[in-house]
Chain A
Amino acid sequence: MTQTEFADQTTPQTLRADAAPLGRAPNPPAAINSARKGRAWWSGQTPILPAAGATGAPMTIVIAIISALAALSLAAFVLIASASAKWTSDLAASMTVQIKGASQEEIAANTTAAVNVLETTAGVTEISVKSSSQAAKLLEPWLGANADSYLSVPALIEMRAAPSARENLAALRTRLSAIGDGVVLDDHGGWNTSLIRASRTGQLLAFTIFLLITGAACTIAAFAARAGLAANADVVSLLHLVGATDEFIANEVQRRFVLVGLKGAGLGLALALVMLFLASLSARSYGAGAYFLPVLDFDMSLIAPMAMMPVAISIATAMSARFTVLRTLRLKI
């Protein structure tokens, strides 16, 4: 018997009226069970929809680039948040008392009185006095040596205080101003408010960029899904005729996009991490000059949101592709 003839002319057992219910036998031949390139890892079966370009390498690369940008915007969000927290906590913990006066003697006397007030104030943890002559020393590059001999350079008291001390700030201000008109407490409140406002604006901007980039990924996925449907029109038509529902086809497309999304976003995340690591190394190499620059720490506050990014991107692109497929298929018979 040749392979061009039927092996048996009788009706196959499978189709006989007395056939056993489906599912008689396990143990498939190795040829069928063998893992073949292109088979879906979750079921061992070849995906029903061919890749047909729309979810192939170009799409993975586009998703990778978009994901790298999304990861960088997320990192900027975290960076601004942590830098802002550091700056504002530094400002919140420190205050400065400025002591002006007509003479060195008046300044010195008021400084001593102010120190006494601060030492008896609950919550003040640290006091550091810069006398008039020490303050003049700081101004030497601009005013020349011994500026305090002809100018009444104000003395400064730097203090660090517990948060509780801020609750009685008005009383402290009153007690200090009672020493003299020139004794002024600066709690850095204006700076603090400005910094918080600036950092919130920066965070909002970074998050908006993240959302826009994710939106771009969804739009690209929608285009790719539509192109994929057009490229596979014959396959989709056949699947419908064999009884596939729109949801079945959408699930197949969605599954592909989840995989492409995870692969692309994973690559993008790796790329972004390398870029951030190099930027961090570069910032640290500035040494003292980088004191005011925010330093990126690779801790959980950074790693956790960035690790979620590939998942978020793959879910967003897969859902976008799914809705596009369902909407497009609805237009058919």
Chain B
Amino acid sequence: MIVGFENIGLAYEDGAEVLRSVNFSLDEGQFRFLTGPSGSGKTSLLKLIYLAHRPTRGRLTLFNNNVTEAARDDLPAMRRRIGVVFQEFRLLGHLTAYENVALPMRIAGVGQNQYREDVRELLNWVGLGDRMDASPQTLSGGEKQRVALARALVSKPDLILADEPTGNVDPAMGEKIMRLFIELNRLGSTVIIATHDLNLVKALGKPVMRLENGDLVDSTTPDPAAWRASG
């Protein structure tokens, strides 16, 4: 099992309960869109999966490890198997676009000679071949998003999480990004994408998990006709 949620609840320090009792599981090679209104807990659910938080209650399983009871020292190895495209990009301002993409490889202790061409290829692929030495401060929102995407994918993660990955790009590019995720999923990665873009979700016809007020209310493969009818 790649991801397993059993009665997972999450409350922040101020007492606000953002997830109530969430249950689902994903095996290798599965794909899920995560939708729901703002404040429904999508980002919090992703944060639990990429180990930014631990659940307040319930049992969280990642790569067949019980995260709820895992030692702190066990977390980095699990995090290295996850590629995350953060909603706010989270690029390091003092590094170039190239260095930001290379970051997971440096952290994993991979030698520069081993990842240099991969990083370059990814940046070329996302259309930033001539911006490799650019500082994130000089990049547009869309360019930052593409750097963040390249960084999330460079280590060929087993699990890909993306939080509104098309939020800052035009529809055409958004669709291209989604098609890349689908292709990576076809190659074996498990993918979870949180998005508001229902048109994209409908167009791609992939299974959807829907959160409302911290509860998982629906987990189905959408019927495009039904989605169209519900707006």
A3 to B124, CA, bound (A): 10
- Is the CB–CB distance between A50 and B94 below 8 Å? yes
- In angstroms, how far is the closest chain A Cβ from the Cβ of B83? 9
Residues of A within 8 A of B (CB): 1-9, 11-17, 19, 22-26, 28-29, 31-32, 38, 43-46, 48, 50, 234-235, 237-245, 248, 330, 333
Residues of B within 8 A of A (CB): 50-54, 72-73, 75-77, 79-80, 84, 90, 92-96, 98-99, 103-108, 110-118, 120-122, 124-133, 140, 142-143, 151, 153-154, 156, 170, 172-173, 176, 179-180, 183-184, 187-188
B54, B96, B104, B156: the one contacting A15 at CB < 8 Å is B156
- Is the CB–CB distance between B99 and A46 below 8 Å? yes
Contact A242 to B104, CB < 8 A, known contacts A4-B142, A11-B180 = yes
- Is the CB–CB distance between A330 and B125 below 8 Å? no
Q: Which residues of B contact A5 (CB under 8 A)?
A: 127, 172-173, 176
- Is the CB–CB distance between B112 and A244 below 8 Å? no
- In angstroms, how far is the closest chain A Cβ from the Cβ of B73? 7
Q: Which residues of A contact B172 (CB under 8 A)?
A: 5
Q: Which residues of B contact A24 (CB under 8 A)?
A: 117-118
Q: Which residues of B contact A12 (CB under 8 A)?
A: 121-122, 125
A281 to B73, CA, bound (A): 58
- Is the CB–CB distance between A234 and B90 below 8 Å? yes
Q: Which residues of A contact B120 (CB under 8 A)?
A: 28-29, 32
- Is the CB–CB distance between B107 and A16 below 8 Å? no
- 22 examples of A-B residue contacts, CB within 8 angstroms: A6-B125, A6-B176, A7-B125, A8-B124, A12-B121, A12-B125, A14-B154, A15-B183, A17-B187, A23-B114, A29-B132, A31-B132, A31-B133, A32-B98, A45-B106, A46-B96, A48-B92, A239-B103, A241-B50, A241-B52, A241-B79, A242-B151
In the complex, the chain B residue whose C-beta lies closest to that of A21 is: B114
Q: Is the interface of A mostly helix, strand, loop or mixed?
A: loop
- Is the CB–CB distance between B92 and A235 below 8 Å? yes
Q: A6-B126, A6-B127, A234-B90 are in contact. List 8 more A-B contacts (CB 8 A).
A: A2-B127, A3-B127, A5-B127, A5-B176, A7-B129, A15-B153, A22-B110, A22-B118
- Is the CB–CB distance between A22 and B54 below 8 Å? no
Q: Which residues of B contact A29 (CB under 8 A)?
A: 120, 132
- Is the CB–CB distance between B179 and A25 below 8 Å? no
A89 to B151, CA, bound (A): 71
- Is the CB–CB distance between A3 and B131 below 8 Å? yes
Q: Which 9 A-B pairs have the closest CB atoms?
A: A23-B114, A243-B80, A25-B117, A12-B125, A50-B94, A243-B79, A14-B118, A22-B114, A245-B76
Q: Which residues of A contact B127 (CB under 8 A)?
A: 1-7
Contact A46 to B94, CB < 8 A, known contacts A9-B179, A32-B133 = yes
- In angstroms, how far is the closest chain A Cβ from the Cβ of B122? 6
A50 to B137, CA, bound (A): 15
A234 to B136, CA, bound (A): 15
Q: Which residues of B contact A11 (CB under 8 A)?
A: 180, 183-184, 187
In the complex, the chain A residue whose C-beta lies closest to that of B117 is: A25
- In angstroms, how far is the closest chain A Cβ from the Cβ of B18? 16
- Is the CB–CB distance between B110 and A241 below 8 Å? no
Q: Which residues of B contact A45 (CB under 8 A)?
A: 99, 106, 112
Q: Which residues of A contact B113 (CB under 8 A)?
A: 23, 26
Contact A333 to B122, CB < 8 A, known contacts A234-B90, A235-B92 = no
- Is the CB–CB distance between A241 and B51 below 8 Å? yes
- Is the CB–CB distance between B173 and A6 below 8 Å? yes
Contact A3 to B128, CB < 8 A, known contacts A12-B122, A23-B113, A48-B92 = yes
Contact A333 to B125, CB < 8 A, known contacts A45-B99, A45-B106 = no
Q: Which residues of B contact A14 (CB under 8 A)?
A: 117-118, 121-122, 125, 154, 156
In the complex, the chain B residue whose C-beta lies closest to that of A22 is: B114
A8, A28, A238, A330: the one contacting B116 at CB < 8 Å is A28
- In angstroms, how far is the closest chain A Cβ from the Cβ of B229? 31
A235 to B92, CA, bound (A): 7
Q: Which residues of B contact A44 (CB under 8 A)?
A: 112
- Is the CB–CB distance between B51 and A333 below 8 Å? yes
Q: Which residues of B contact A6 (CB under 8 A)?
A: 125-127, 173, 176
- In angstroms, how far is the closest chain A Cβ from the Cβ of B39? 22
- Is the CB–CB distance between A46 and B95 below 8 Å? yes
- Is the CB–CB distance between A16 and B76 below 8 Å? no
A191 to B81, CA, bound (A): 75
In the complex, the chain A residue whose C-beta lies closest to that of B177 is: A6
Most buried by B among A13, A32, A333: A32
- Is the CB–CB distance between B53 and A333 below 8 Å? yes
